[in-house]
Structure formats: structure tokens, C-alpha cells
Amino acid sequence: MKRIGVLTSGGDAPGMNACIRAIVLTAEHFGIEVVGFKHGYYGVLNSEHKELTPERVSNIIQSGGTILHSARCLEFKSDISGAKAANCLDALGIEALLVIGGDGSFRGAHHLGNFWNKPIIGLPGTIDNDIVGTDATIGYFTAIETALESIDKIRDTADAFERIFLIEVMGRHAGFIGLSSAISSGSDQVLLPEINSDNQIALSNIVRRIETTREVKGKCSYIIVVAENLWPGGVTALASTLTEEMGIDCRPVVLGHVQRGGSPVAQDRLLATKLGAYAVECAMQGKTDIMVGEQNHQLVEVPLEQTWSGQKELDPYLVRIQTELFDIIG
């Protein structure tokens, strides 16, 4: 193998650069050239690329975002695009393609395999941690840390004014960031898609919990972490509803895309480095249509189709801690 390609696709995640660096350094060790495609699959279709050398990836391990930039390429779902991408890769002499991204990126990689018979390897890069087959995804740990730092700062203001705050965190349709940041910050309550399917019940529970807490403790702060897309209109609408229901001022905070940025924490740098190096070795062995991941500290290879075959489960014991063991109000 003489030449491989790499791209980053979908939402950016802290640690993508660390992964690119690991791929380039590992490939250099084996005498393999690396071509980086810019803007995800658009870079393949439009032949927008650059050579990646050890010098070009020097000092990027600590940088957030992705030096290859990213994009969501809806047109890549078509057979025409799949065939065009295969021709473009062959024209450049690419012998394997490594795709860093989430489930949408993996679906694109699997689709490409229908038109290109060379190794295609997926690497899980998404803050949502919603990829089946790996304990964690690149960027997840940093997103938790970013959310935690923000919640801690909001708690200071909440305590000072004895206010109720609702904090919306990312996660699309998965509650991993919400659960982890809520427990880590000592939040009073958390609303997640996996455990809150009925909004009316959730609303009644919130009101009951706040009123009971204030009966026991007196006027005090109260922090609720809410996963995005859970409540119609988001936390702004939920805060308004709660204010009307209880006659108590509730303040919404949307953390938004700040959770995607920042220097990756050590856990993400380590995971990205392991997966990047392992992906190159898997490609050299001719393996294809797989994702490389980590389970119980062991590197694993998972068929791409399995990575979106079901919903990844939250840690059941963390759920129990938040909803039962630490529920002193009952």
C-alpha cells in the first residue's frame, strides 16, 4: 500500500486533529503517503485535497475542530455520487479511505463500498457518543468537560440569586452528554430522551420536585439539564411554561455549539491516537466496511452497518444514581 486518503465528515469534534495526526504519523512509519480530502465527501467528489505530511500535522494534537474542515454532503447518498467518488479516488491512486465522523458519515462510507472495492475504515468522531460498537467516540469527553464547566459557572449565579436554571446540552437524540454532565455537576434533575418520553409527565415531575425541594430547603437554586430536541421549542419554551405554572422565574441557557469547540482533553487525544493508528494498520491488512472502536480498553472492529443498527444504551447505573439513589426528595 502506497497511498491512503482521510476525511472528516459531519459535525466537528475535539480530537479529530489528533486522529488525523496519528493517521499521518503511522502511515509515515510504513512508508505510506496520506491525502487529506477537504470538506468531507465534497472533497472527494470535487477532488479538493492536499498532501498530509508529518510537518503539516505538527502541533495539531491540541487543536479543536479539523484542519480538513467538514461538511454534510447529502448528495453523496446517490449512486451517481458513489460512482463518481470511486473514480476520483482511483484517479488519485488512493488505496484505502479513512472516514472520521458519525453515523451519517459511516452510512456514506458504506454506500461508497458499493462502488469501490478497496479498504474503507470508519473512525467514530462525534461529541454525541451515539455510535454503537464503541464505548466512547472522539470528542465526547471534551464535550462533557465543556458542558460541566458551563454548568458550574451557571450554578454560581443560580446560588447567588437562588434561581432556577434550565440548561440545554447537545446530543441530538442521545442523552450521553446530558447524563454525564448532570451527574458531574451535581445538577438537581436531568431530562433525557431515553428516560423522558412523556412531556406532560416530565413537566408535572419538574414542578413537584421544585416545589418539594423548596418546601424542604426553603428558597434555593435549582439546576435542570435538558437534552436538545427533547422539549418543543427547547429550554426557552420549557422555562416559560414553568414560570407560568409555578409563578417562579426560571432562566433558560442554551450551551449550543460551544460544546463542539476547544482543545481536546487527554482522554479524547488518547482515544483519537489509538484509533487513528489502528485504522491504518487495518487498512494495510485489507479490512474494509468496518469501524475501529474501543470496548473495555480493547481495540475492536465493528461492521459499519452495526454502528447504526440500534440505539446505544446509557450506563444503567448512572441513570439509577441520578433518578433514584441521589433523589433525596422522592
CATH of 140-260, one of 1.10.150.240, 3.40.50.460, 3.65.10.10, 2.40.50.140: 3.40.50.460
Find cell 471534551 and name the residue. 142
The pLDDT, as a whole number, for residue 329 is 57
Condensed to tens digits (0 to 9), the pLDDT of residues 206-221 reads: 999 998 888 888 888 9
Return the CATH number of the domain spanning residue range 3-139+264-308: 3.40.50.450
| 57-81 burial: b if 16+ Cβ within 10 Å, else e | beebbebbbbbbbbebbeebeeeeb
d(CA 104, CA 330): 40
Q: What is the pLDDT of residue 194?
A: 93
Domain definitions of the chain by residue range: 3-139+264-308, 140-260
Angle subtended at Cα 84 by Cα 80 and Cα 86, rounded to the nearest 5 degrees: 120
Tell me the pLDDT tens digit for each residue of 19-40: 999 999 999 999 999 999 999 9
Q: Give yes or no: 128 in active site.
A: yes
pTM, to two decimals:
0.94
Confirm whether 3-139+264-308 and 140-260 share one CATH topology: yes
Q: How confident is the model at residue 172 (pLDDT cuts 50, 70, 90)?
A: confident
Which residue among 12, 103, 128, 188 is the active-site one? 128
